[in-house]
Structure 1
Amino acid sequence: MVELFTLIPSLLIVQFFRRIRPRRQIAPIREALYKMKPSRKTSSTNAPAIKKKKSSITFPWWCLFIAYGLSMIIIVISIFFIIVRGIEFGDVKTQQWLTSVLTGFFSSVIFTQPIKIICLAIFFICFCRNSKDDKETSEYINEDDEFSLSNDEEYLHSLEYRSLFSSESRQSISRLNENEVAYARDQRLKEIQMWAIIREYLIYFTFAILVFVITYSNREQHSFYQVNHLRAYFLNQRQTTADYTKINTIDEYWCWLENSFVSNIRAQQWYNGDIPQYLNGYINDKSSRLIGWATMRQLRIKSELCPDQRVISICEDSYSFVNEETELFQPGWTTNATTEEFSSSVIKAFNYSTSDELDTYTYVGDFGTYRGGGYVYEFRGRLSDMKTNLSTLHQLEWIDEKTRAVFIQLTLYNPSVQLLTAVTLLAEFLPTGGVYTTARFEPINFYTFTSILQLVCTIFYIFFIIYFMIIEIRLIFELRLKYFYQFWSLIQLGIIGCSLGSIGVYFWRFQETNRLSELFEQTNGYIYINLQLAVYVNDILTFLLGYCCFFSMIKCLHLLRFNQQISLFAKTLKYCAKALISFSIMFAIVFISFISLFYLLFVSKLSSCSSLLTTAQMLFEMTLMKFDVSQIMGADAFLGPFCFALFMFLVVFVCLSMFLSIINDSFRHAKGNQEQDQIILSFMLKKFLRWTGLKRLNQSEIQEERDCRMRSQYFDPVENFPYKIDQLLEALNRIYIAQKIDLARLEKAGF
């Protein structure tokens, strides 16, 4: 029944394809021949009358695009209904249905379709015989044309209508000369190159569109507003007494924790005093729901004896994996049993938990790398209970001089925009006594393929990557090591590598999403779900997709190589590549020496010189003239101005002037040796204007082309003079050698 239902549309599509007329009504070589020698065209007055045949319904050649478009629409609609129906079914029914679809497909290809073709062929042979050989032949061959025959050639084909009085001899006309053949070959090569360029443009722009659709569909447009709201909500930067970013001591941290944070993670009364209904689990902004509960995890160090105990006996060093504290304690960080009663949450806060138990991972901070384990307090229960527990922990000095890091982690879900946000508030306690706070709000959306467009684009994207891989593998086998010396080959390898990596990372993220979904389903959301690994994987995926977009945009410069300015830019970089490499080595040595100088002199005086990385950042800002000089001037009365003036003279004036000189010389050299290779671009533009009918050749342009071809046959006698002299000397040499041979022969004969 399905075969009968699809028979009529299939026949209509096939007939539509068959009735599309070819683009060229005559052969390309004959068109070129007529263009170069219009005298070959047969006069309509001398042509014999041909009986008009009954013409069938045909369509213009450009209907071929419509036919292919209809075919693609039918395919896409079929795929759409397959996906939609598959989503409505369950897993078992979907598997059975897909099995039946595959069985029907192979049975149709192997059994049904051959029978259908045989039956249709027999039907058309018996009832619809209509030979169109004469008509199709007449479209390409004109019987009245006269052919150029040499003296040793004979025309063997007989005419269908030949008079008894017609002569056997044919009028001989001259054949194409070498210049005309070269012109026809050049036009054909240009046309082949033109279609190759058009095909390259279409393929690559389609691929670039797929890359951008896939990349930007993975980014949520509400991410910035969600992060901006949560940052202002939790950090309280507008309140001077509870500003998280301005915390410097342990007491200030407890003040923010007890008075600001704990009140924000529970939905409280509305502004008019009404009780919040249906907001169980929501935070106080009434828009984001807390998944599970928030956790506060502390990392501590062990106490060690100081090397010099004359000043102080116990030293607390910086955090490391070696000196991390992992022992179990009683409330108050004692090992002795206590008689006081505490809640289970307070007691658990003094017991160490491993990263496997907490489902947490290693975290990289500004002043260290921290393990996933630690001493954990869970913000569970009513708001009053949590405030009581925090007050108890404060009295028991849960955060003291051995504390090196405190993590507050929570997972939020905004149902309005279907966006998950992993919140990490890190406070690093340094052995110098300072407290440095950082906050990370990382939104993530696990909903993939929310539209059919994303699924279709992903499938076609994979096909394009396979196609590019096949092409690049063939080029590697052909060029071998020369392939890796080409810049655009490296760009293409970057696109393929990042694409393959993004596919692998996507499946990794898909697996992590399934794990978190199963965990949420098992616990109904009443457990802390850590999104740290999922965020890491999502960041890697974003990194790879971002570089795919970057390499794709760089590849657009290669596609625009026919533009004169782009070509000049590329050749300038090519000419100055070696000089820039040498200059970069010299500049790196000078710049590193200044980094060492500024770091050693101002490490304790300027915050911008507190580390080598920040010092390098400051020097780059000085190079770009984007630096506040008053900081260096105020750091030291003599060394500050002296080092600044020395840096400005050597780096800004000398090194940058050398860099600009290299670019300027290469630009001048590239501009002087620029090839005027705009022939293909003008040829494509001319073809496009003629194809669209916007411009037609007039008689003057045709005559100009003939004159150009005729001028190409001319030669300069002065340029040809050395060749003629060589011919003359060669002829004299042959005559001289022939005379020598004749004299030798006569001497042997005795004459």
Structure 2
Amino acid sequence: MDFQRSIKYDSASNIKKSLLSILLYAIFLVVTTMVAVASRHHYLYYFNHAIKHHFMIYERHLTNHEWWQELREIYVPEVLESSKANEEHKAEEADREENEDENKNQTNTQSTKDELTILHENYLLGTPRLRQLRVEKEDCSVDRGFMASFNNTCYAVYTIWSHKTDGKHEESEYKSAHNLGTKPIDARMHTYWGGGFLENLNRKFERSVIIVKELEARNWLDRGTRLMVFEFIVFNSNTDLFNNVKILGEVPVTGGVIISLQANVIQKYALWTGSVWIILAAIIFYLISVYYIFKEVRATLREGWKKIVNYWKLVDSVILILIVLSFIYNIFHPVYLHYYLKGALEKKSEYHSLDFICWFNRHYMNLMAVLAFLVWIKIFQLFNFNKTALRLKATFLRCYTDLLNFVGIFLILFFSYAILGMILFGHAHADFYSFPIAFWSVMRMVLTDFDYAGVEKANTIFAPLYFLSFIIVISFILINMFLAIIYDTFREVKKVDMQPDKQLHDFFDRYWDKGKISVRMALNKIGLFKPTQPSKRDEPLREVVSDNEPPFPPTPKPERKVKVPKNEILDNFFETVRNKRDAEQVEILSQHISALEEILDKMSDDLRRLEAESPDPSTQPARPWYSRAPQRSKVFVKRHK
């Protein structure tokens, strides 16, 4: 998986090996995408969407009485069918099965006797239950006369330290998260840790309604309650999907109940279900992963751990670790749910929690998302033959320090505007009521997602100043400076002549020409391609001296090449360095040679640039021609005395 060592284009043999490595990684990329997408089937969304719309729950504020009323009149009847609905359902089933055999009728009545359905296709596993989380009592800091009606008792905001973890509340015992098999709940206001005070309901509708009325009469929901949970498990046998449904009622210290719904859908077999192509892709995915793991471990043992400091080596290590974790989970997931379903069908009078496997499944989804992202990002390591990719890589390597410094300035301004917005508008606007929400609202403002009307209602004086200053400072100045840094660096990189590997291009051209010739020969054999016949007027390339002499000289026979094994060449022409000191000197000499090669490459690049910058002598104007005068001849005269 280390493309820096396996992908080379310096010779024909290395190009062939590189193309095989690229082909293998392309197959790995395709099967990884299929496995990652299969973990999030589209039926998961439809099942979740159907449950939410069936109960018609949206986030709103209720009173305590309204919570008990909706629980008694809406939620419990929707989960547990009433007696009239059961009688009507049985009557319809009896009319439908009159014409069937008696044996089939007996088996159907026995199988549907204790089954409760939601939306006619989903079966209720076990019983629903009510659970609440409470906080400890504390003394009030106000006047005792003022708090006389509340018995001088106050309850704190929910935190992990104020969470009540023992005792009883209205004959309901507290049970820990370990005993209940629950996980923390991320609600609207807080993250509520597992455990709580329990009250199990019954599979019969009338009995469950009586239990709810008794809890309301005993004032089970009081000032110390911080979260009410009505939870049940639904199973769809058509798609082998489980749905862990929780109707939440948060009780803030300001009073009332904030109602919401959470539904976590998981598959029974995770990966080993669905289409045959998905299962085949999963098998190929893990086989290629085993090959990459073996190759990476062998390279690490040979080169040492110092080579892992490289960025791409770290990416390879993270990918392989995520693959191992995904394989472990895909073995554990179906085994766990097999025994879970078996126990839920045997013990229908108990609630069977799915929080444990839902928590693992949520993190498995995150794992597969990161894995698919890294596998796709690794494609950039292959672009050594593309000039644009080389320039892009060089641009980011040159300007990443400037970008990091600029991001620091960016974050400081974002924090400043988030704090300012939270203080100015947090009391009346939902996008600024807390600092994390305000920070992400400021991030959304960069993308022009901004509720100016709501902000102006919250603060009519500072809202225009806040909005205009943000647009000028962030949108007009900082974002353009960010783009200018990248553009200037790219322009500098573009001046440098980056020559990609041309041997790969020549390799493909050579095989393209061979392919065309072979196709022409094949078409010529079957008569679909006729080569052009030479005309009679064509003359030979040279004069024929005699009648028996051919017009073309005979081609010389190629010399016979003798294959010499590699070991023989090493033994005859190379000497093994056994002395440690000599080996160090050889290594130093090789480093000097590599440094000289780099210097020569730079000199050759400079010469090319100078040749490109120097004017072409053929384009210069010719010098004017002047006629030269003939040389004067010297005449010697003999003088006689």
Same fold (TM over 0.5): yes
| Cross-structure match for 2:53 | 232
Secondary structure at the counterpart of residue 121 of structure 2: coil
1:681-728 superposed Cα distances (whole Å, 9 cap, x missing partner): 422431342343278899xxxxxxxxxxxxxxxxx9xx9xxxxxxxxx
1:67-121 superposed Cα distances (whole Å, 9 cap, x missing partner): xxxxxxxxxxxxxxxxxxxxxxxxxxxxxxxxxxxxxxxxxxxxxxxxxxxxxxx
| Cross-structure match for 1:297 | 131
Taking only aligned residues, the RMSD between alpha carbons, in angstroms, comes to 3.2
Matches within 5 A, 1:419-568: 419-447=241-269, 448-450=271-273, 457-473=281-297, 483=307, 486-510=310-334, 512-513=336-337, 515-517=339-341, 519-520=343-344, 523-568=346-391
Contact 1:244–1:256 under 8 Å retained in 2:
no
Residue 440 of structure 1: how far off its partner (Å): 1.6
Residue 664 of structure 1: how far off its partner (Å): 0.8
Higher relative contact order (CA 8 A, sep 6+): 2
Does the C-alpha gap of structure 1 residues 643 and 247 become closer, same or farther in structure 2, counting only changes over 3 Å? Answer: closer
Does the C-alpha gap of structure 1 residues 265 and 681 become closer, same or farther in structure 2, counting only changes over 3 Å? Answer: same
Does the C-alpha gap of structure 1 residues 525 and 259 become closer, same or farther in structure 2, counting only changes over 3 Å? Answer: closer
| Cross-structure match for 1:362 | 184
| Cross-structure match for 1:216 | 37
1:239-278 superposed Cα distances (whole Å, 9 cap, x missing partner): xxxx553243222212221111111112456799553643
Secondary structure at the counterpart of residue 353 of structure 2: coil
Q: Distance in 2 between matches of 1:411 and 1:505?
A: 22
Letter in structure 2 aligned against 1:224? Y
Residue 580 of structure 1: how far off its partner (Å): 0.9
| Cross-structure match for 1:192 | 13
| Cross-structure match for 1:151 | none
Does the C-alpha gap of structure 1 residues 356 and 194 become closer, same or farther in structure 2, counting only changes over 3 Å? Answer: closer
1:248 is the counterpart of 2:62? yes
| Cross-structure match for 2:209 | 387
Residue 626 of structure 1: how far off its partner (Å): 1.7
Q: Distance in 1 between matches of 2:192 and 2:10?
A: 65
Secondary structure at the counterpart of residue 562 of structure 1: coil
Secondary structure at the counterpart of residue 292 of structure 1: strand
1:498-531 superposed Cα distances (whole Å, 9 cap, x missing partner): 212323333443553355245336x354432111
Secondary structure at the counterpart of residue 693 of structure 1: helix
Secondary structure at the counterpart of residue 117 of structure 2: coil
Does the C-alpha gap of structure 1 residues 272 and 674 become closer, same or farther in structure 2, counting only changes over 3 Å? Answer: farther
Secondary structure at the counterpart of residue 576 of structure 1: helix
1:258 is the counterpart of 2:97? no
Contact 2:31–2:282 under 8 Å retained in 1:
yes
| Cross-structure match for 2:159 | 320
Letter in structure 2 aligned against 1:617? W
Letter in structure 1 aligned against 2:475? V
Letter in structure 1 aligned against 2:217? Q
Letter in structure 1 aligned against 2:206? S
Q: Distance in 2 between matches of 1:188 and 1:558?
A: 14
Residue 673 of structure 1: how far off its partner (Å): 1.8
Q: Distance in 2 between matches of 1:575 and 1:616?
A: 30
Contact 1:690–1:696 under 8 Å retained in 2:
no
TM-score (norm 1): 0.60
Residue 551 of structure 1: how far off its partner (Å): 0.8
Q: Distance in 2 between matches of 1:651 and 1:188?
A: 46
TM-score (norm 2): 0.69
Identity across the alignment (%): 21
Q: Distance in 2 between matches of 1:615 and 1:566?
A: 38
Q: Distance in 2 between matches of 1:476 and 1:352?
A: 52
Does the C-alpha gap of structure 1 residues 283 and 188 become closer, same or farther in structure 2, counting only changes over 3 Å? Answer: closer
Q: Distance in 2 between matches of 1:477 and 1:670?
A: 38
Secondary structure at the counterpart of residue 315 of structure 1: strand
Secondary structure at the counterpart of residue 291 of structure 1: strand
Q: Distance in 2 between matches of 1:380 and 1:252?
A: 22
Residue 554 of structure 1: how far off its partner (Å): 0.9
| Cross-structure match for 1:306 | 140
Q: Distance in 1 between matches of 2:520 and 2:373?
A: 42
Q: Distance in 2 between matches of 1:477 and 1:329?
A: 59
Q: Distance in 2 between matches of 1:419 and 1:245?
A: 26
Q: Distance in 2 between matches of 1:297 and 1:374?
A: 6
Corresponding pairs, count: 489
Unaligned runs of 5+ in 1: 1-186, 237-242, 334-346, 699-715, 720-751
1:630 is the counterpart of 2:469? no
Secondary structure at the counterpart of residue 675 of structure 1: coil
Residue 281 of structure 1: how far off its partner (Å): 2.6
